[in-house]
Chain A
């Protein structure tokens, strides 16, 4: 903060006043909802559901044929 001039410092203080007003949710509400969101999405996550990765663009899905 020592590098700020008077105008910058004033803006900084005003910003902090605004940030203080933020309506904080309790973690007992926000964290379980976050966990729920992740758990629901894990089914679609190719790294966690091997079925999704069955069609892997980087792996040959059929055997090589000698022609």
Chain B
């Protein structure tokens, strides 16, 4: 048997052993453990603000840590910074490339970043008298699907080239490259303690990475198509994923396995985005069918719908204080709901 064949066999054996170890740890499921929990009430939210200003599809949005400002990215070639309370545009950043797929707000509020089919992550300083490009992070060989700041000096990226990377914003170089996915990386989420992050990819897997040593620590399977959305649970011990297979899943990090699936026979649109309420009890999931469904994370039931967009919901976000949910759509509008 050739070396390659031998290694492929070994990989299959290891995967089987991992599944067996998971089964051994699976002595109860979410349905049984949550049987005594009262179901979450039906959630009916109102649109409090509709943010109008983009001229084309919105692909991404991200809240600032001040719970008030947010950044959105559209293929009209602009990043817009909004004051969500007044609905006013605070800043507009013209992009060199209009094929933007992601944007992010730095925790400090000083910087924003964007990227897309240009394969680059561009970082802008909002605090200089005129908004300046501070860095163009250029090393990925595929599109930039997602980016998140750790601080004003470090940023994480996920790319269609199947890798994720940690960059030093002072040098503009990659510090660490995270290699393990075999499909385009589509999304990432930072852990609350900032020591790890999770990524979702077109290989239908989610992976947990140690930011400092660059290693993939855990791999989560179960989805049958691209994972487009991923989020750490606020407790840091679970993750939620959303996929083109029309389902969302919760994976328990300590037990290293899926514990509940959020799906409905009537739902046959892919999940594009997701965000969690402050306690994690509610999951706001955006779908291709123009709606955002609200799921009870413990019971697996749908408890509400946000309808109002005239096209696909491409992004969702809950600010750190949990006071509302924002949805962004291909219809060019952002809506604030609570």
Complex Cα distance, B7 from A11, in Å, reads: 10
B residues near A (Cβ < 8 Å) are: 3-4, 7-8, 10-11, 14-15, 17-18, 21-22, 24-30, 33-34, 37, 40-41, 43, 45, 48-49, 68, 85, 179-180, 182, 215-219, 233-235, 237-238, 252, 254-257, 259, 277-282, 297-298, 321-324, 336, 338
Q: What interface size band does chain A fall in? A: 35 or more
- Taking a contact as CB atoms under 8 Å apart, the answer to whether B282 and A1 are in contact is no
Q: Are B278 and A9 in contact (CB under 8 A)?
A: no
Chain A residues proximal to chain B, CB less than 8 Å: 1, 3-4, 6, 8-13, 15-20, 22, 24-35, 37-39, 41-42, 44-48, 53, 56-59
Set of chain A residues within 8 Å of B179, measured between Cβ atoms: 8, 11
A35 near B218 (CB under 8 angstroms)?
A: no
Given that A13-B11, A30-B255 are known contacts, is A38 also in contact with B279, CB under 8 Å in the complex? yes
Q: Does the CB pair A1–B11 fall under 8 Å?
A: yes
Residue from A9, A31, A38, A39 in contact with B252 in the complex, judged by beta carbons closer than 8 Å: A31
Q: Are B17 and A20 in contact (CB under 8 A)?
A: yes
**A13 touches which one: B14, B45, B257 (CB < 8 A)?**
B14
Collect the chain B residues with CB atoms within 8 Å of residue A59's CB: 48
Complex partner residue of B234 from A16, A29, A39, A41, CB under 8 angstroms: A41
**Contact in complex: A16, B15 (CB < 8 Å):** yes
Report if A3-B279 is in contact (Cβ < 8 Å); known contacts: A39-B37, A46-B323, A48-B40. no
Chain B residues within 8 Å of A47, by CB: 43, 45, 277-278, 281-282, 322, 338
Q: Is A24 in contact with B256, judged by CB distance below 8 angstroms?
A: yes
Give bound CA distance, A46 to B281, whole Å: 11
For residue B215, which residues in chain A have a CB less than 8 angstroms away from its CB? 15, 18
For residue A1, which residues in chain B have a CB less than 8 angstroms away from its CB? 8, 11, 182
Complexed CA–CA distance, A34 and B235 (Å): 8
Identify B322's interface contact among A26, A39, A46, CB under 8 A. A46
Measured CB to CB, the nearest residue on chain B to A40 is: B279
Taking A22-B21, A57-B85 as given, write out 12 further A-B residue pairs in contact, using a Cβ cutoff of 8 Å, ordered by the A residue number.
Answer: A1-B11, A20-B14, A24-B257, A25-B254, A26-B255, A31-B34, A31-B259, A34-B252, A35-B34, A38-B280, A41-B281, A47-B322
The verdict on A9 contacting B11 (CB below 8 Å), with A30-B237, A58-B49 known, is yes
Q: Is the CB of A56 within 8 A of B338?
A: yes
**What are some 14 contacts across the A-B interface (CB < 8 A)?**
A16-B15, A20-B14, A22-B217, A24-B255, A26-B255, A29-B254, A31-B33, A33-B237, A41-B234, A41-B280, A45-B281, A46-B338, A47-B45, A57-B68
